[in-house]
Amino acid sequence: MPVQTRQPRTQMLIGGEWIEAGGRSTFPTYDPATGKVLAELVEATPEDVDAAVRAATEAFGAWADLLPAARARLLLRVADLVEQHADELARLETTDQGQPLAISGGFSVPMVVNQFRYHAGWATKLTGITVDVSVPDVDYRTRREPLGVCGLITPWNFPLMLLSFKLAPALATGNTVVIKPAEQTSLTTIRLAELCLEAGIPAGVVNVVTGGGTVGKALVDHRGVAKISFTGSTEVGREIGAAAGRALKRVSLELGGKAPSVVAADADIDAAVAGNLMGGLLNSGQVCAAYTRFYVARPRAEEFVDKLAAGAGSQVLGHGLDSSTQLGPLVSAEQVSQVDRYVQIGRDEGATLVTGGSPADGDGFFYRPTVFTDVTDSMRIAREEIFGPVLSVIPYEDEDELDLVARANDTEYGLAAVIWSGDVKVANRLARRIRAGSVYINMPPLLDAAAAWGGVKASGLGRENGWDAIEAFTEVKSIWTAL
């Protein structure tokens, strides 16, 4: 299978210097479609994390003081460079993460470009207010200011795109950053940092330390870090939230999900099947907002299951660089084992397996798209995040909206939900009552740089994108002047 023509950069970036492994330990990153090692990366030491935070601290004053129009220009230059290198970045993402080129090139990289352009616009639009306070002889106003050094910790499922959700607003608002990408998929992060330098973003503003959870923890615990912006599992998010709480650091947490998809009796079933296949199998189900538990009105359940299973079963699995591929591999052998474990649990719990249910043959980390029906609310496959191509259909009898809402909400998560209905009033009533950060009506889960993204309950704290991201990377200062 063809791989990168350009050897990917693997060093860490600290204070504008590329840091080689030297005496440090290294770890491999794989092409998940072949199982072959792509490159060796550096495991950062606590001293590296400290050096990165110090470099970001030193760079902070000048970066925060840069004229907003100059910051905006630099972010626009990053966007232009990402666009110029779109094909290279997409191929690198596909090779390291597994997502088919149609996703990396058609969705992930264009989203990174949009994020930088969108947030470049905010750099010149940050405002405070003046307020007539009820205190005599004072002028009172507010300023919106950056936080300082922000630690950005990202997961492996959409490494480049999810980094841009954090990096673009953090930089636009005058913060400096230390990035810790997921150890499975660090290559595009390192390349984006290189493009930031090439765009003219000063040394020390963007730093990258690589390695596993201990490196992330060292960043979270560092006293010089003002904020942690984390995307990843709920389990790790809880730890980070607790540590940030103890240290009184700002924190944003984008965590796991178990999105319900309600398919009403009057829904357009073909549209629902197509949208749910996209929403459930995108990136082989390794999507936090993946539609995974389908509440389907009993009279339409058989038709829905047949069509969903036919669609899932006919997906072409292969290397993401191959243009005929519809579904790429899972990110790692561990992820294949985790998905397979859940499929076994589903069988043991009494769900009916309709299609899939096993790893696919070959060297890479592939899993066959899997559909279960006759799933019940209490089964673990209906409650726990699997993060793989496993779709669970839960037929429902009762048209009672409140009961349906209660069942959709009977989860610790609350990231996304979708309603498929021919009646826009019913759909909107359900959308209001379902507890989730984003609810989609008759559509797959889409994202936009201007649209708030985040979860409730165990799906996280805070929102990314749009004005919410600007608020998340700034503080309001009050300035009082005696007149």
Catalytic residues: 254
Q: Which of these ranges, 50-58, 190-198, 254-262, 320-328, lies near ligand NAD under the rule CB under 6 A?
A: 254-262
Should residue 38 be labelled a site residue for ligand NAD when binding is judged by CB under 6 A? Answer: no
Residue in 79, 161, 205, 236 binding ligand NAD, rule: CB under 6 A: 236
Instruction: Using the structure block, give the residue that is written with the tokens 């390794």.
Output: 286
**Bridge partner list, 393:** 294
- In Å, what is the CA distance from 314 to each residue of 311, 368, 461? 5, 10, 38
Q: Vertex 214, ends 228 and 245: CA angle to 5°?
A: 35
CA torsion, ordered 49, 51, 52, 55, to nearest 10 deg: 160
Should residue 472 be labelled a site residue for ligand NAD when binding is judged by CB under 6 A? Answer: no
Should residue 169 be labelled a site residue for ligand NAD when binding is judged by CB under 6 A? Answer: no
Residue in 204, 257, 275, 329 binding ligand NAD, rule: CB under 6 A: 257
Instruction: Using the structure block, give the residue that is written with the tokens 């290559």.
Output: 187
d(CA 160, CA 178): 15
Judged by beta carbon, residue 342 or residue 387, the one nearer ligand NAD is 387
Q: Which of these ranges, 12-20, 227-235, 305-313, 376-384, lies near ligand NAD under the rule CB under 6 A?
A: 227-235
- In Å, what is the CA distance from 157 to each residue of 48, 108, 182, 289? 25, 11, 9, 12
Should residue 279 be labelled a site residue for ligand NAD when binding is judged by CB under 6 A? Answer: no
Should residue 163 be labelled a site residue for ligand NAD when binding is judged by CB under 6 A? Answer: no
SS3 per-residue string spanning 203-235? CCCEEECCCCHHHHHHHHHCCCCCEEEEECCHH
Q: How far is the CB of 3 from ligand NAD (least distance, A)?
A: 23
Binding mask 181-210 for ligand NAD (x = CB under 6 A): -xx---------------------------
Residue in 217, 249, 368, 463 binding ligand NAD, rule: CB under 6 A: 217
Should residue 155 be labelled a site residue for ligand NAD when binding is judged by CB under 6 A? Answer: yes
Near ligand NAD in 379-418, by CB under 6 A: 385, 387, 415
Q: Which of 107, 466, 468, 128 is nearest to 320 (CA)?
A: 107
- In Å, what is the CA distance from 265 to each residue of 259, 396, 399? 19, 10, 9
Should residue 48 be labelled a site residue for ligand NAD when binding is judged by CB under 6 A? Answer: no
d(CA 173, CA 120): 9
Q: Which of these ranges, 42-50, 252-260, 277-285, 302-310, lies near ligand NAD under the rule CB under 6 A?
A: 252-260
Q: How far is the CB of 451 from ligand NAD (least distance, A)?
A: 12
Binding mask 288-317 for ligand NAD (x = CB under 6 A): x-----------------------------
Should residue 455 be labelled a site residue for ligand NAD when binding is judged by CB under 6 A? Answer: yes
Instruction: Using the structure block, give the residue that is written with the tokens 């596909």.
Output: 94
Both structure tokens of 113: 């470009």
Should residue 462 be labelled a site residue for ligand NAD when binding is judged by CB under 6 A? Answer: no
Should residue 156 be labelled a site residue for ligand NAD when binding is judged by CB under 6 A? Answer: yes
Residue in 154, 173, 207, 474 binding ligand NAD, rule: CB under 6 A: 154
- Residues 6 or more apart in contact with residue 337 via CB below 8 angstroms: none
Q: Vertex 189, ends 451 and 367: CA angle to 5°?
A: 80
| Cα-trace Rg, the chain | 23
Q: How far is the CB of 125 from ligand NAD (least distance, A)?
A: 25
Should residue 157 be labelled a site residue for ligand NAD when binding is judged by CB under 6 A? Answer: yes
Judged by beta carbon, residue 238 or residue 298, the one nearer ligand NAD is 238
How far is C-alpha 432 from the geometric centre of its chain's CA atoms? 24
Should residue 162 be labelled a site residue for ligand NAD when binding is judged by CB under 6 A? Answer: yes
Q: How far is the CB of 159 from ligand NAD (least distance, A)?
A: 9
Q: How far is the CB of 418 from ligand NAD (least distance, A)?
A: 16
Residue in 146, 328, 346, 460 binding ligand NAD, rule: CB under 6 A: 460
Contact in structure between 476 and 142 (CB atoms under 8 Å): yes
Should residue 176 be labelled a site residue for ligand NAD when binding is judged by CB under 6 A? Answer: no
Residue nearest to ligand NAD (CB): 216
The residue count of the chain comes to 483
Judged by beta carbon, residue 182 or residue 264, the one nearer ligand NAD is 182
Should residue 280 be labelled a site residue for ligand NAD when binding is judged by CB under 6 A? Answer: no
Should residue 231 be labelled a site residue for ligand NAD when binding is judged by CB under 6 A? Answer: yes
Q: Which of these ranges, 33-41, 197-205, 250-258, 392-400, lies near ligand NAD under the rule CB under 6 A?
A: 250-258
Number of residues in contact with ligand NAD under rule CB under 6 A: 31
Should residue 180 be labelled a site residue for ligand NAD when binding is judged by CB under 6 A? Answer: yes
Q: Which residues of the chain form contacts with ligand NAD (CB under 6 A)? A: 153-157, 162, 180, 182-183, 212-213, 216-217, 220, 231-233, 236, 239-240, 254-257, 288, 385, 387, 415, 455, 459-460
